[in-house]
Structures are given as structure tokens and as C-alpha cells.
A and B are shown apart, each in its own frame.
Chain A
Amino acid sequence: MKSSTATGVEDVCRKFGNDRTRMMDIVIAVQRRFGCVSTEAMELIARACGTQRVEVESVVTFYAFLSVKPQGRVVIRLCNDIIDWMKGYQDVADAMAKELGVTMGETTADGAITLTHTACIGMSDQAPAALVNDVVVTQLTPERAREVVRDLRRHLDPSQLVTMVGDGHNAHPLVRSMVRNNIRHRGPVHFAEFESGSALRRALARPPEAVVKDIKDSRLRGRGGAGFPAGVKWELARHAPGERRWVVCNADEGEPGTFKDRVLLTERAHQMVEGMTIAGYAIGSDAGIIYLRGEYRYLLAYLEAVLDERRRAGLLGRDILDTPGFHFDIRIQLGAGAYICGEETALISSCEGLRGDPKNRPPFPVEKGYLDLPTIVNNVETYCCVSRILLQGAAWFAAMGTARTTGTKVLSIAGDCRKPGVYEVPFGITPDELLEMAEADNPGAMLIGGPCRQMIGPGRFSGRICYDDLATGGAIMIFNRARNQLEIAEHYLDFFIEESCGHCTPCRVGLIQLKRLVHKVVHGAGEPADLQAMRDLSRFIAQMSRCGLGQTAPNPVLGALDGFPALYEGLVAERKPGLLSTFDLASAVVDAERRVGRQSQYV
């Protein structure tokens, strides 16, 4: 007789057509149903999908939210980003651990609750925050943390933790989340009224080439941070040979400190999906994928409902808006906790049911992307821009911003300020202006674009937010003068080490060695030569790594070295000849002393 696991796993596989390219969906569903993807389950999946167990295992072990070993029925994932630390992460973590009687990473003895941590979950404006299974809990205090644990012990139902819902669609019955939008400044592109179908009608009234031209004329650059011209990308994909083309939306904003796509997904889902549909029309595609980060699973049911609503309204599906031959539909691909999947080729790997390893380039996704077919990948904000450009015209859009970075930008501002939240502002705005808007508190530094970009000091607060000066995918973090830049750099090195896919040597091994050097200096054992060694190793990792993660991971270290040199220089000193500063005999013998019960005669 078949075990219940076997029946359950086979059901899941069947639901996804026993298709190995849908491996992410399969393993996420199995994880959800059984609390892990066990060896037995992996065997079953492999058999159903015509692959090998080790293939399945390679996927399961890649993503932080998937697990081969059983986890608690409820998994509490405390967000450990730097902003959460600043807002009291440690006290919350201690309170939870004590209340649960476990240490970080452990499960309670009854197998009910697991406590662990996770990277930025896109809630920096309401930190400290945590994911309790899919439920987002924000603005935690030690007292609230103890309450959460006590409540969970009673009912083991995370949804009951939501006693007050947030504003806007956070209160929608399919969302029902305590998350707040914190929209602080509304601009004309994203936060003006949007009527479903209005932009698409404009697009369909003209030939696809004209729509591509509109996007090119608007000089819209990808909002993810790299700033590649969207129109150029579309044109390349449009002309690339392939039986089908794909439109992919990157809704995996994982850059620490970024949360503006969360708000756009909540409040502007129609505008975004419409932008994707317009892209489909423009490049000749009939299918799209929204890659939704696992952290935002609480928005999944709502987004599915939006897609359904649009299908019913004739805005998705076959012969859209009665345009013969224009078919386009979208599926949502969930992620499962991997920062690297924000990188477009890693995202494509993940959509294909693989580990989130970036791919070698060339070929580029516009030629060979999802399933080796021409694919455009743009993010949530970019597609929202597309809809507005179609409504208001390329010239209207291009008139905003700076000469080379047109339009507005939605920023996520958090940290040491009184008004953390989402701000839609024209490109070209200065950090000084942002600090004033957000009512910053004694600002000493700003992390523009998250740890992969740059930490700036007051000397650059009069710069401009645009691709030619201070580029950002949306994250702006404010640090007051009391914050230790070195600790921040070390913190983010840990983040990149944890999130590295491990494919290439410079990133996989180089980062851990860079971390050792930084740690040595931060803890007062550094020598002047270490500063140069840090620069050399940073440069090596940045130049030699295969993808953007490794190429940008040393930026927090370089930013601190360049922007705040006095900090490092004050910590290093020439050492006396003799034992190296990194070698500590006392700690090297302490274990032996304890074992044999005698003190070292040399310490």
C-alpha cells in the first residue's frame, strides 16, 4: 500500500504536469504540505518527473525556505537586516528564544515551532519584523515577541496573529496583513489613479513596433538598479529568433532595505500586470511569469485574484480586448528565500526549476532566456512605468527626471529617520532633500541602493539620485552619526557570504577571507598592511566574480574604506615582532587546559 506521503507527493507532481521545469512549484508545495522535502519525497518527485533524486536535492538545498529535514509546524523567521538590528532585533530574538526555550536555528522539543533568522524581508520601514510561516509580523518588541510565542503555542495558527490589518489593500480579505504601506510621497507615475485596461487599449490601438518606440522614446531605464534601457531590451527580444518569447517580471526585490515593490504589488498590481501585457504585445509574446519572492507569499492569493479578474475582463487570455491573435497570460512563480534570484539569469534558472545559479553570459536572456527562448526581465516598478508611459506619452515621461535618467523613482527609505516609507520622487533629487522629507535624525551616512551599491557620507549628500551619480534600485538607508560603519560593512559581508550561490571561486571563497580581514581590523588586531590587503581582495572579488552578487559584494567594505577612512586607520597599528596579533595562545589552549585541569605555563 502506498504511504500517505507517496500519494500526497504524487498529487503535487501531477498538479504541475510532472514537469521538472516546474520543480520550484513542486518542492514548495511539498514543503508546505509536509513541513520538509524528505529524502523519500525527493525520490518520489524524481520518479514522477523523470529525473534523479540528486537533481531534486540540488534545488531543495539551495533555497533557504526549503528543507530536507523536518521543521516545526510553525517557522518563525526573524529578519536580521541591519535596520532590524538598529531597531532592536537582538532583544526580540533573545525574548523569543527564551520564551521558546531554544536557540536560534532550533525547533522546540515538541516539534511545533522553529526559530530562525532570514535576510531582509522587505519590511525595513516597520522593523523589527518576522515571517511566521507566510504571515508578516511587524514592529516587534520583546514584549510583543513573547506574546506572539505564547499565542502560537496555544493555536499554532499564524493567521490568528493578525489582529489589526494595515492600510490600503493590506486590508483586502485575500491579503489580511498587518503590513502598512507607509506611502509618504505620491508621484504622478505610480500613485496617480490608474484605470485597468486604459493603457493596454492605447497600446493595442497601434502596431507593436510603435509601442517599442514609445518605450525607447521615453528613455525608460530598468528600475532594478542596473538601468539598462527597457526599450532596447524589448527591441532585442522582439527581433531574436525563437518559437516563443517570454515576459518576466522580477518581483524578487531582495536588496536589503528595499520594500517599494511590496507597496506597488499591493496597491498597483493592475498597473504592473498591464505593463507586462503591453510588453507581451510589443515583443510578440504570449506568456509571462511574475517571479514573486517567497517573503511576499502573503500577497500571492491577492495577485492570483488580480490575474483572474483581468482574465474575466478580457485583459488577459486569448484575443485580448478583442484583438484577434493577441493572446497573453501570466503565471506566478514563487521563490523560496534566495537573494541571488533577483539577478535576472538566476531568476530564470529558478523559474526553470533549477538551483538559483546565475547563467553564463553570453547568450543574454533577450536571445536565450527562460527555457532558452528570448526573454525580457524587468521589475515591478518598470512595468508600472510602462503602463503610465502608454497613458501619458513618452514625452511626458521623458520630461521628468534628469537628462539621462528620465521619469520618477520609487524609493524605500528606512533607518534613522522619523518617516520611513515609500517616496515617489523625480530622478535627480538629492540625498539632502530626502533626508529632510524623511525627517532624518542626525544623519552621518546613507546607503544608497543597498549594500551592493554605495555608502555615502555627508560630503555627497548634495549629489543626485540618478544612474550617472547615485544609482539605486530603490533602497535608501539612513544611519545617524553614532552608527559604526565598520560593523555595518561586516554585517553585510555576512549577508553576501550567506547569499552567495557558491558557483564561482572568487565570490564563494574570497568573501569569507575578506570577512576574516575585516573582522581582524574591527576587533583591533589589524595592521596597516591589512587595509591594502582588504582593498586588493575586494578588487579581486569585484573584478573576477561571475555575476553581479560577487561583483558588488565588496562594496560595503570599499565604501567604508573610502568614505570613512579614519575609522579603519584608527584601528590598525604596527605590531611588535613576535606572535602575530591574530594568534592568541590563551584561547588556543583554553580547551586543553579545561580537559586536563592545568594552566598553560606559557600564557
Chain B
Amino acid sequence: MSAKPRIATVSLAGCFGCHMAILDIDERILRLADLVEFDRSPINDYKTFTGRCAVGLVEGGCCNEENVHVLEDFRRHCDVLISLGDCAINGGVPAMRNHVPLRECLEEAYLKSPGVYNPGGVIPNDPEIPLLLHRVYPCHEVVKIDYYIPGCPPPADAIWSAIVALLEGRPVELAYAGLKYD
């Protein structure tokens, strides 16, 4: 096993935009690859943890039971957990359903909305489909989160400087230009 610090990333109830922003660090990704080993992440398509990680980057909030399970798993395996982007931090766009009862959400999605073809009027119940939570939670309302990098998506520079700071043993601090909610 490599002696390099390990990094894990995941997209929960997110759109993968924050992962695109990670890739937006451009050629610095080569330096990153020198500095760290990627563990569980869509970047290398590892589906499970292979060891303890120094840093976990979490995109998206928790909208279903599987998100919660995965987030708990990240908390267990990562020394430092970072909420990456607005959805992880405040639920983001998925949280717009938070004042709508779950029944109405399901009916809108599967029965009522324009273009739906569902002659049986069945709300899907495949065990492969995780059960929805009654509302979307930001990650820090589910597990302890150590740092936050807001933005939709966060600026690549902010992500890069946060990772470098952590690898150098410094706390994450965002410059004014790196702190954005949009």
C-alpha cells in the first residue's frame, strides 16, 4: 500500500457539478496525483473504501437512506470530511422539496407531472431504489463535518487550495474570491 495520503470523493444528492469543479483544477490534477492516492471515488470508479483516508470530499446532501449510509461510511473512513458545494452545505436545489410532503413529491414525479406514462398508477417500489427521507438534509445535520467549501460549484482554486492546505497540515481558509454561493 502506498504511503501517500488517500483521498475519497462522493456525490450524494448532487449533480456531479462539484466533481467537474475538482477536474477544473486542470493540469494541477497531475500534481494532485503525485501527492495523493485516490481511494473510493467516481474519479477512479472505486465503489468501496480500501483503507483509511486523510480527506473525504462530499458533494450533495442526503435525500435518501443510501446517502445517509454512504455519508456515515465516509465519516468512518476519513480523518477530515469536507462538504463540497451548496447541496452538501444547505441541501441546494434538491432541498427545494423540503416544504412539500413526501406523498406529493412522489405523486408529482411518478403520476402527475407532464409527460409521465404510468398507466398502472404505481409508485415504483424496487428494492434497488433507496427510500427517500422526509426531507433533504445538509451533510452537517447528519454527521460531523470539518470544513465547508461553498459554491455551485465551488471555484476550482478554492478546492485546490483547501486540499493543499490539508496536505500541508494547515486549516482550510478561503480567500474572499474563493468564497461564493453561486
8 A Cβ contacts from A573-591 to B: 577-580, 582-583, 585, 587-591
Q: Is the CB of B95 closer than 8 A to any CB of chain A?
A: no
B127 touching A580, Cβ below 8 Å: no
8 A Cβ contacts from B66-99 to A: 66, 68-69, 72, 75-76
**From A592, A596, A602, contact of B68 by CB (8 A):** A602
B75 touching A578, Cβ below 8 Å: yes
Q: Is the CB of A598 closer than 8 A to any CB of chain B?
A: yes
Alpha-carbon gap, A224 to B44, bound state (A): 70
Alpha-carbon gap, A591 to B105, bound state (A): 12
Q: Is the CB of B20 closer than 8 A to any CB of chain A?
A: no
Q: Is the CB of A99 closer than 8 A to any CB of chain B?
A: no
A598 touching B133, Cβ below 8 Å: no
Q: Is the CB of B102 closer than 8 A to any CB of chain A?
A: yes
Q: In the complex, which residues of chain A have a beta carbon less than 8 angstroms from the beta carbon of B68? A: 579, 583, 585, 588, 602
Q: In the complex, which residues of chain B have a beta carbon less than 8 angstroms from the beta carbon of A589? A: 65, 131-134
B143 touching A592, Cβ below 8 Å: no
B127 touching A592, Cβ below 8 Å: no
B141 touching A578, Cβ below 8 Å: no
A579 touching B72, Cβ below 8 Å: yes
CB distance from A533 to the nearest CB of B (A): 14
Q: Is the CB of B2 closer than 8 A to any CB of chain A?
A: no
- Among A583, A587, A593, max chain B CB count under 10 A is at A583
Residue of B whose beta carbon sits closest to that of A582 = B141
- Among B68, B131, B133, max chain A CB count under 10 A is at B131
Q: Is the CB of A207 closer than 8 A to any CB of chain B?
A: no
Contact (A598, B127) CB under 8 Å given A577-B76, A588-B134, A591-B102: yes
CB distance from A115 to the nearest CB of B (A): 26
CB distance from A590 to the nearest CB of B (A): 8
Residue of B whose beta carbon sits closest to that of A588 = B133
Alpha-carbon gap, A578 to B102, bound state (A): 26
Q: Is the CB of A154 closer than 8 A to any CB of chain B?
A: no
Q: Is the CB of A160 closer than 8 A to any CB of chain B?
A: no
B131 touching A600, Cβ below 8 Å: yes
Alpha-carbon gap, A469 to B134, bound state (A): 50
A595 touching B144, Cβ below 8 Å: no
Q: Is the CB of A597 closer than 8 A to any CB of chain B?
A: yes
Q: Is the CB of A4 closer than 8 A to any CB of chain B?
A: no
8 A Cβ contacts from B22-67 to A: 65-66
Q: In the complex, which residues of chain A have a beta carbon less than 8 angstroms from the beta carbon of B123? A: 595-596
Q: In the complex, which residues of chain A have a beta carbon less than 8 angstroms from the beta carbon of B170? A: none
A600 touching B65, Cβ below 8 Å: yes
Alpha-carbon gap, A354 to B103, bound state (A): 42
A579 touching B131, Cβ below 8 Å: no
Alpha-carbon gap, A296 to B120, bound state (A): 61
Alpha-carbon gap, A386 to B137, bound state (A): 60
Alpha-carbon gap, A600 to B69, bound state (A): 11
Q: Is the CB of B113 closer than 8 A to any CB of chain A?
A: no
B144 touching A580, Cβ below 8 Å: yes
Q: Is the CB of A163 closer than 8 A to any CB of chain B?
A: no
- Among B69, B127, B133, max chain A CB count under 10 A is at B133
Q: In the complex, which residues of chain B have a beta carbon less than 8 angstroms from the beta carbon of A595? A: 102-103, 106, 123
Kindly supply a per-residue 1/0 record for chain A positions 73-117, scoring 1 wherever the CB is within 8 Å of any chain B CB and 0 otherwise: 000000000000000000000000000000000000000000000
8 A Cβ contacts from A551-589 to B: 577-580, 582-583, 585, 587-589
Q: Is the CB of B166 closer than 8 A to any CB of chain A?
A: no
Q: In the complex, which residues of chain B have a beta carbon less than 8 angstroms from the beta carbon of A602? A: 65-66, 68-69
CB distance from B124 to the nearest CB of A (A): 8
Q: Is the CB of B142 closer than 8 A to any CB of chain A?
A: yes
A596 touching B125, Cβ below 8 Å: yes
CB distance from B136 to the nearest CB of A (A): 10
Alpha-carbon gap, A550 to B69, bound state (A): 41
Q: Is the CB of A3 closer than 8 A to any CB of chain B?
A: no
A579 touching B143, Cβ below 8 Å: yes
Alpha-carbon gap, A578 to B144, bound state (A): 8
Alpha-carbon gap, A591 to B127, bound state (A): 16
Residue of B whose beta carbon sits closest to that of A592 = B131
Alpha-carbon gap, A590 to B132, bound state (A): 9
CB distance from B99 to the nearest CB of A (A): 14
Q: Is the CB of A360 closer than 8 A to any CB of chain B?
A: no
**From A578, A582, A596, contact of B131 by CB (8 A):** A596
A580 touching B142, Cβ below 8 Å: yes
Kindly supply a per-residue 1/0 record for chain B positions 90-122, scoring 1 wherever the CB is within 8 Å of any chain A CB and 0 otherwise: 000000000001110010000000000000000
CB distance from B68 to the nearest CB of A (A): 6
**From A580, A585, A592, A596, contact of B141 by CB (8 A):** A580
Alpha-carbon gap, A374 to B134, bound state (A): 55
B76 touching A593, Cβ below 8 Å: no
Contact (A580, B143) CB under 8 Å given A592-B102, A600-B131: yes
Residue of B whose beta carbon sits closest to that of A599 = B131
Q: In the complex, which residues of chain B have a beta carbon less than 8 angstroms from the beta carbon of A583? A: 68, 137, 141-143
Q: In the complex, which residues of chain B have a beta carbon less than 8 angstroms from the beta carbon of A587? A: 134
Alpha-carbon gap, A428 to B101, bound state (A): 57
**From B106, B124, B135, B144, contact of A577 by CB (8 A):** B144
Residue of A whose beta carbon sits closest to that of B129 = A596
Alpha-carbon gap, A577 to B144, bound state (A): 8
B142 touching A591, Cβ below 8 Å: no
A592 touching B133, Cβ below 8 Å: yes
Q: In the complex, which residues of chain A have a beta carbon less than 8 angstroms from the beta carbon of B131? A: 589, 592-593, 596, 598, 600
**From A577, A580, A582, A592, contact of B132 by CB (8 A):** A592
Q: Using a CB–CB distance below 8 Å, which chain A residues touch chain B? A: 577-580, 582-583, 585, 587-593, 595-598, 600-603
Write 23 A-B pairs (CB below 8 A) sorted by A numbering: A577-B76, A578-B72, A578-B143, A579-B68, A579-B143, A583-B68, A583-B143, A588-B133, A588-B135, A590-B134, A591-B103, A592-B131, A592-B133, A592-B134, A593-B131, A595-B103, A595-B106, A595-B123, A596-B124, A596-B125, A598-B125, A602-B65, A602-B66
Q: Using a CB–CB distance below 8 Å, which chain B residues touch chain A? A: 65-66, 68-69, 72, 75-76, 101-103, 106, 123-125, 127, 131-135, 137, 141-144
Given contacts A583-B68, A588-B68, A589-B65, 9 further A-B contacts (CB under 8 A): A578-B72, A579-B72, A585-B65, A589-B131, A589-B134, A590-B134, A595-B102, A595-B103, A600-B131
The 10 closest A-B pairs by CB, nearest first: A592-B131, A596-B125, A588-B133, A591-B102, A602-B65, A591-B134, A592-B132, A589-B131, A583-B142, A602-B69
